[in-house]
Structure 1
Amino acid sequence: MKLLIRNAVPVLLATAALTGVFMSTPSEKASASAVDGLLGSWRGGGTARYTSGTERLSCNAYYTGGGSSLGLAIRCTSPTSKVEIRSKLSVSGNRVSGTWEERTFNAAGSASGSANPGRLSVRISGTVNGSMTVSYTKTRQNVSISTTGTSLRGVSVSLSRSG
């Protein structure tokens, strides 16, 4: 059980950001929103911090939608695991809300927070509780995640736009 929690949490949070890919149709796209700067493919890595030490992560992230929706898929690998987070978020003004799931370890929950140009802040609840902040520019993003109630204390990931 300890290994399950240790391996699932980094992906859940790296993503909760960094939380199926939500595809929007043209009729669902509203005017430009604060999350539009995240759209596209990203690649990079970082570190998961546990009570027992740290572990390196290698990640790919994909953001879809835009306007009033944001879908994301984040896949991370470490020396001991592979995880996949997916999230569907609705955007209304600077508020975001929706759901997240981690498919490898069957974890899920809700997400809510705020989106401003260059910054997404989300609280997650469900199987895992925590928070995630994504700070981004056109070419780089930094994801910072913290959790409670698990052996995982946090995740830090730096990504660059790919493709």
Structure 2
Amino acid sequence: MTLSTVRPDGRPDARSVVLLNVDARGWHFAASTRSPKGRQIENRPFAALTFYWPAIASQVRLSGPVERLPAAEGRADFAGRPERSRASILAGRQSERLDDPADLTRAIDAQLARLAADPALVSDDWHLYTLAPDEAEFWRADSARRFARQAYRRADQRWERCALWP
């Protein structure tokens, strides 16, 4: 899915992330609080998710507030990841400039050694977040270019629906 947040200068920032779960709390994804997305969410706890399926000419957009889930859930997610993934997370520095690819290899190797010495090691910066949508839009194309759009807005404890012009 595409996760969109806002940078401190007001510019939008979008990237693909893995949808980990959907439950009554919302749509779950993971991030390091040291990453740009983690810092952006901590600064402005709202985001948008976009799902696009070109084969069926459909898109779903969700937006709403984002909350950090309990630390135990983030630790469990971290512990369940493959070793190299955990080492990469522990190496940190996501989205910082990398001048020499060998620096990345050395950093991951150092974290692999830490994990070998302490398999229960978890990152204090790794968290699960949930987006609880208060807006949703469903878009569908057809061959005659009569696009169908349905918007939903949460009002109190119920959803209000309306059709939108394409």
TM over 0.5: no
Alignment TM-score, normalising by the size of structure 1: 0.29
Ranked by relative contact order (alpha carbons within 8 Å, sequence separation 6 or more), the top structure is: 1
Length-normalised TM-score, structure 2: 0.28
**Higher strand proportion:** 1
Structure with the largest fraction of helix: 2
Larger Rg: 2
